[in-house]
Structure 1
Amino acid sequence: MSTDLGPWEPMSVEEVAGLFDRLTTPWWIAGGYAIELFVGRTFRSHGDIDVLLLRRDQAKVHEVLRGWDIHAADPPGTLRLWLAGETLPESVHDIWCREHPDGPWRVQVMLDVADGEEWVSRRDPRIRRPIASLGLRSADGTPFLVPEVQLFYKARGARPKDETDRAAALPALDPEARRWLDDALALTAPDHPWRAGLV
Structure 2
Amino acid sequence: MRSDIYNWVPISIPEIHDIFSEIPIHWCIAGGWALDLHLGKQTRKHSDVDIAITREQHLLAYQYLNQDWVLYKAEEGKLTLWQDQEYLHTTNDIWVSRSKDAPFVFQLMLLNTEGTTWKYNRNHLITRPVDELFLKTKEEIPYMRPEIQLLYKGGASQVREKDYLDFQTVLPSLSPKEKAWLKSSLNLQYPEGHDWISALK
Same topology, TM > 0.5: yes
Q: 2:195 aligns with which of 186, 193, 196?
A: 193
Give the total of aligned pairs.
Answer: 195
User: Does residue 29 in structure 1 map to residue 29 in structure 2?
Assistant: yes
Shift in Å at residue 63 of structure 1?
A: 3.0
Which ranges of structure 1 fall in alignment gaps of 5 or more residues? none
Which residue is 2:15 aligned to? 15
What are the equivalent positions in structure 2 for 1:5-84 lying under 5 Å apart?
5-65=5-65, 66-73=67-74, 75-84=75-84
Amino acid at match of 1:83: Q
Give the distance between the partners of 1:67 and 1:142, measured in 2 at CA.
22
Measured at CA, do residues 95 and 186 of structure 1 come closer, stay the same or move farther in structure 2, by a change above 3 Å?
A: same
Amino acid at match of 2:58: Q
Shift in Å at residue 81 of structure 1?
A: 0.5
SS in 2 for 1:144: strand
**Is the contact between residue 25 and residue 61 of structure 2 (CA under 8 Å) also seen in structure 1?**
no
After TM superposition, what 4+ stretches of structure 1 lie above 4 angstroms from structure 2?
Answer: none
Shift in Å at residue 172 of structure 1?
A: 0.6
Give the distance between the partners of 2:159 and 2:115, measured in 1 at CA.
31
Once structures 1 and 2 are overlaid, which stretch shifts more, 145-154 or 184-193? 184-193
Once structures 1 and 2 are overlaid, which stretch shifts more, 160-169 or 178-187? 160-169
Amino acid at match of 2:7: P
**Is the contact between residue 92 and residue 111 of structure 2 (CA under 8 Å) also seen in structure 1?**
yes
SS in 2 for 1:28: strand
Which residue is 2:124 aligned to? 125
SS in 2 for 1:59: helix
Amino acid at match of 1:132: D
Which residue is 1:116 aligned to? 115
Amino acid at match of 1:80: T
Give the distance between the partners of 1:4 and 1:161, measured in 2 at CA.
22
Give the distance between the partners of 2:5 and 2:174, measured in 1 at CA.
36
SS in 1 for 2:112: strand
Which residue is 1:168 aligned to? 169
**Is the contact between residue 53 and residue 108 of structure 2 (CA under 8 Å) also seen in structure 1?**
yes
SS in 1 for 2:152: helix
Give the distance between the partners of 2:43 and 2:64, measured in 1 at CA.
29
Superposition CA RMSD, Å? 1.3
SS in 2 for 1:44: coil
What fraction of aligned residue pairs are identical, expressed as a percent? 34
